[in-house]
Amino acid sequence: MDQGFALYVQEQNKDVETDQVRKDFRISLTDKQYANLKLKAYQAGFKNSGDFIQSFIGDLTGWSSSGSDERDLAYQWYQRAHGMSEFYYYFHYFLFNYDYDLVMMSELLEDDEYFSEVYNEYIMEADG
């Protein structure tokens, strides 16, 4: 087995131990949205809509995905729907303007509180 792949599998197995219901992740749906989401989930062979959404999140984040094609399509969806907005560029400019280096940006991804602090600072500045 390739050493890089073995490390990936080991990291993924360790991450599975952190699987939990997140307190800040609640979703509000209309009756039609919920009914159609359940229908899509059942059509895809899922027992419930939560597992269906979790599968999409795996594809979107590239972690525990359904495969490379699914990851690519989720990435394309994200870029088209959200990735190339003006807001995206402004936040990157904000980070650059305040001299955030790659280490600091990596910490933003790992520390939710730090990200929230920086993001809220950005929102306050953007709103003027």
Contacts of 42 by beta carbon, 8 Å cutoff, 6+ apart: none
C-alpha distances (whole Å) from 63 to each of 22, 29, 96, 124 are 17, 25, 27, 32
**Domain ranges for the chain:** 29-83, 86-127
Contacts of 27 by beta carbon, 8 Å cutoff, 6+ apart: 53
pLDDT at 25: 84
**What is the pTM (predicted TM-score) of this model?**
0.60
Instruction: Kindly calculate the radius of gyration of the chain based on its CA atoms and give it in whole angstroms.
Output: 18
Q: How many CB atoms lie within 10 A of CB 57?
A: 14
Cα–Cα dist 78/84, whole Å = 9
Q: How many CB atoms lie within 10 A of CB 96?
A: 11
- E strands within the chain? none
pLDDT at 73: 92
Q: How many CB atoms lie within 10 A of CB 74?
A: 19
Taken in order 17, 18, 22, 28, the sign of the CA dihedral is negative
Pair of tokens at residue 8: 């990936």
pLDDT at 55: 93
pLDDT at 122: 82
Kindly list the averaged pLDDT for each block of 10 residues, start to end, along the chain of length 128: 82 87 89 96 95 93 84 88 65 77 83 87 78
pLDDT at 2: 83
